[in-house]
Chain A
Amino acid sequence: EAQVTQNPRYLITVTGKKLTVTCSQNMNHEYMSWYRQDPGLGLRQIYYSMNVEVTDKGDVPEGYKVSRKEKRNFPLILESPSPNQTSLYFCASSALAEIYNEQFFGPGTRLTVL
């Protein structure tokens, strides 16, 4: 089954404790992206990757890091989480084709930083 998986689905942590949210897709997609969703603000892109070893900042990259060492994986790293990073996070992937490029979203990770 074609899917994007994220782990963990829920996480409560404390300020300053490094954490990683994993994302994996099995569709051989070149493009992967991380979004955060907050009430009234919609989906805001954090980072994206066009292919292995190629990453770029989205609209709200501050406080986040990513890596793309393998095509299927795109982890999101919070080196020193702060309460303003409490949010719902989605990973997404798509082909880079001109037309068939719908985004497939993971189930989401709800993060609370105390």
Chain B
Amino acid sequence: GQQVMQIPQYQHVQEGEDFTTYCNSSTTLSNIQWYKQRPGGHPVFLIQLVKSGEVKKQKRLTFQFGEAKKNSSLHITATQTTDVGTYFCAGRVLLNSGAGSYQLTFGKGTKLSVIP
């Protein structure tokens, strides 16, 4: 079945340093989504990338979707303590366009700690 690998599993950074997490899929994706889960909270949708080579920015966060639509990255510039949490990617594969059936597979997440 579809697999989504996400690295690193953990990342500790000093406040102000940059942070990047990477996702790789075993299959070509229809789109990829990114979620953030704060400690003790639930995953919250951040963004969705659909097009090959797409780059989107949200303030200090930059999201990229690979040309082959099999990999993606999230980069945070100048981390702040509010960035603490676990970041998940989720790859979506369309199984049956007629039935609208798809499979969504989450990576295992990258847990970000920010040292003040």
**A binding-site residues for B, Cβ under 8 Å:** 33, 35, 40-45, 50, 59, 90, 92, 96, 98-99, 101-108
Contact = CB atoms under 8 A, between A and B. Distances in A.
- Chain A CB within 10 A, most for which of B31, B42, B100, B109: B42
B76 interface: no
Q: Looking at chain B, what size class is its interface with the partner chain?
A: 20 to 34
Given A102-B33, A106-B42, 11 more contacts: A33-B104, A42-B106, A90-B42, A99-B31, A101-B48, A101-B92, A102-B48, A103-B90, A105-B43, A105-B44, A108-B42
Contacts of B19: none
Interface of B: 1, 6, 9, 31, 33, 35, 41-45, 48, 50, 88, 90, 92, 99-101, 104-109
Contacts of B43: 43, 90, 92, 103, 105
Q: Is the interface of B mostly helix, strand, loop or mixed?
A: strand
B107 A99 contact: no
Contact of B45 (A35, A96, A103): A103
Contact of A102 (B1, B45, B88, B100): B45
Contacts of A41: 108
B104 A42 contact: no
7 smallest beta-carbon distances between A and B, as pairs: A42-B108, A102-B45, A105-B42, A43-B106, A96-B100, A105-B43, A42-B109
A101 B100 CA distance: 11
Contacts of A104: 45
Contact of B101 (A45, A50, A105): A50
B96 to A, nearest CB: 10
Contacts of B88: 42-43
Contacts of B35: 103
Nearest to B94: A98
